[in-house]
């Protein structure tokens, strides 16, 4: 009886750890500093300063 409880606890613990890793690993791997690059624009270029 005691062995069955320990097996169930290990299974539940494994499921919890697996679930947390599925949620947290993509968050850690995602780069929040992604830059958006504009390839084409209809806006006039920034004017150069006259000395």
Cα 35 to Cα 51: distance, rounded to the nearest angstrom: 32
pLDDT of residue 36: 72
**Predicted confidence (pLDDT) per residue in 26-46, tens digit:** 888 876 666 777 778 788 888
pLDDT tens figures, 4-21: 999 999 999 999 999 999
Longest pairwise C-alpha distance within the chain: 88
Q: How high is the pLDDT of residue 32?
A: 66
Q: What is the pLDDT of residue 19?
A: 97
């Amino acid at each position: 009886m005691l062995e069955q409880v320990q097996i169930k606890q290990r299974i539940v613990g494994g499921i919890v750890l697996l679930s947390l890793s599925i949620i947290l690993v993509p968050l850690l791997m995602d780069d929040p500093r992604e830059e958006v690059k504009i390839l084409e624009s209809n806006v006039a270029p920034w004017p150069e300063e006259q000395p």
